[in-house]
Amino acid sequence: MALSLFTAEAPGLPARLLALREPETGALTFPRSAFGCTTTGRPAAALEPVALSGRATVLACITLHQPVLPGLAPPVRLAELRLAEGPVVQGVIEGAGGDLPPGSAVQAVMAADGVSCLFRPVPPA
Amino acid sequence: MRGLRPVRVVGIGMHRYQFASETPFPAIGLAALRAALDDAGLAWPAVTSACIGTATLGMAAGRVMLRHMGSTGLEVTQVENASASGSSAFRLACLQVASGQHEVVLALGVDKHGGAQRAAERDGLPRLSPAADLPLVQFALLARAWRESHGVTLADMARVAVKNHGNAARNPFAQFRKPRTLEQVLASAPVAGDLTALQCCPRGEGAAAVIVASEDSIARFGLERRRAIRVLSSHASSDHSGAETAFGVVETVRRSGAATLAAAGIGPQDLDIVELHDAFSIEEIIYAEALGLCPPGAGPARLRDGSWEIGGGRCAVNPSGGLIGMGHPLGPTGIGQVAEIVRQLRGEAEGRQQPGARTALAHMIGLGFVAVGHVLQRENAA
């Protein structure tokens, strides 16, 4: 069974992403797995669990216009994100609207289905 | 290939890339194989090893197909390496000859659309995005990032498709045979981000075959040496740590290209032709720059001034029509690149010949990412 990606108290609330950290180098593995560190190759047993903030910055954001995947109904916004702690991931942006410009801040939140994780735009301070 | 025996491509054969049909894969693959044998002037028993590139057919496709040529006892190996399956099969064939394991080896790519499975969907790990491993989305994101960071315009991207659809229109083995205007490319259906339908490669089926041979076998079988094209280098690699996204593939291509050219003892300025992985239009701009065909950021200008057209400048990029125009049936794609290059270097690419072509690079990437490059060169006057 797959390890969960995140933890959150309820749908719509901020999510913390569950990762593994290599204690000597600090290298992060996300998503966490039983296979080992994706940077150093150390076995998972040697890694320590860590909860990431869920904060991220948009590197690029697009709208998918065609139904190329089951369960991903267009239009849907997808983004390449750099998590605050470093790893780069692809995420689904919550809601409708235009593509987010690079540098936009987003926060991981639990989706309404209680299972998946979306990224919510954070208004500029 | 340095330090190993010389290897030459002595025969090429194609089955046109096409949309999915009811034609069984052996019919498609054997058509390419028989064409390659005819082209080389070889009989089937001369081939002592077959490297079959396929990503969709399942186990033992080689034997299922090749038994219809008569079972000669040859070595048969199936190679799957995503989009680079054919390139990897060709590399194995070259190494088998170069190492002295075999004298005459077939590399054949064949695939039908619909059977591909991505291992990334079965690794037991969840993803934040269901599209995380989908190349269309990965490269649409890369396109957007590149536009914003490098000033590439929508028209720049579309010009890749215009050029490659135009080349494919002149290639009888291409899936798409219709020239397209800039307006048509830009106005075609939006797919993902800035990528429109005509900027995305079609999927389909097809086959490509090449036969490689040693010096000794060229002499022994009396093959036409003038038409034999030397394989100068073969290089394969994968991502370095931290480069596993489409954003990181740029560095993977840069390193792979540099290593492939260095192994051949040449530089990018020596290339007359490059066939590269343009599954999505943005890739050609990014990879051509990463391979050193122009300074970083100069790709769009090269497209605008026609430098990468056939006969339009120093180096023709994707004269076959590339993946966008010729098609991308997976297993055949990398071998089809080699077949196109051999045809060009022989001076036999009727209707789309790059004038005076002598040296060429075939470069593919595959999911993950992996990268495979080959340099081929004509050694005598065309």
Could you tell me which chain A residue has the CA closest to the CA of B197? A66
- Domain range list for chain B: 7-116+203-227
Distance CA(B26)–CA(B66), nearest Å, equals 8
Question: Where do we find the tokens 């028989």?
Answer: B34
Distance from CA of A91 to the nearest CA of B (A): 5
Instruction: Provide φ and ψ at A54, rounded to 5°.
Output: 85, -5
Any idea how long chain B is? 382
Question: B379 with B230: CB under 8 angstroms?
Answer: yes
**By C-alpha distance, which of A121, A112, A109 is closest to A15?**
A109
pLDDT for B200: 98
| CB spacing of A72 vs B125 below 8 angstroms | no
Distance CA(B59)–CA(A53), nearest Å, equals 45
Show the domain range for A62.
6-121
ipTM, 2 decimals? 0.96
Question: A83 with A48: CB under 8 angstroms?
Answer: no
Which residues does chain A have within 8 Å of residue B194's beta carbon, measured at their own beta carbons?
62
At A34-66, the pLDDT tens digits run 999 999 999 999 999 999 999 999 999 999 999
| CB spacing of A63 vs B148 below 8 angstroms | no
Average pLDDT along chain B: 95
Whether residue A1 is contained in a domain is answered as no
DSSP state, B321? Answer: -
In angstroms, what is the C-alpha Rg of chain B? 19
pLDDT band at B242 (very low <50, low <70, confident <90, very high): low
A60 touching B, CB under 8 A?
Answer: yes
Could you tell me which chain B residue has the CA closest to the CA of A76? B192
Whether residue A28 is contained in a domain is answered as yes
Could you tell me which chain A residue has the CA closest to the CA of B145? A60
Using DSSP's 3-state secondary structure scheme, residue B241 falls into coil
Neighbours of A107 (CB within 10 A): 18
| CB spacing of A64 vs B137 below 8 angstroms | yes
Alpha helices per DSSP H over B291-350: 299-305, 322-325, 333-346
Question: B323 with B201: CB under 8 angstroms?
Answer: yes
| CB spacing of A39 vs B144 below 8 angstroms | no
Distance CA(B102)–CA(B333), nearest Å, equals 24
Question: A54 with A6: CB under 8 angstroms?
Answer: yes
Q: Following DSSP, what letter does each residue of A31-94 receive, concatenated?
A: S--SS--TTT---GGGSEEEEE--EEEEEEEEEE-S--STT-PSSEEEEEEEETTS-EEEEEBS
Tokens of A104: 């936009």
At B84-140, the pLDDT tens digits run 999 999 999 999 999 999 999 999 999 999 878 888 888 989 999 999 999 999 999
pLDDT for B35: 98
The DSSP bridge pattern shows strands B7-18 and B205-214 to be antiparallel
Tokens of B35: 């064409």
| CB spacing of B192 vs A59 below 8 angstroms | no
Q: Tally the domains of chain A.
A: 1
Distance CA(B257)–CA(B276), nearest Å, equals 11
Q: Which of residues B368 and A42 earns the better pLDDT score?
A: A42
Q: Residues 6 or more apart from B156 whose CB is under 8 A from it?
A: B285, B299, B300, B303, B304
pLDDT for A96: 87
At A106-117, the pLDDT tens digits run 999 999 999 999
Q: Does domain B7-116+203-227 have CATH number 3.40.47.10?
A: yes
Q: What is the 3-state secondary structure (H, E, C) of B204-232?
A: CEEEEEEEEEEHHHHHHCCCCHHHCEEEE
pLDDT band at B382 (very low <50, low <70, confident <90, very high): very low
Amino acid, res. B29: G
Neighbours of A34 (CB within 10 A): 11
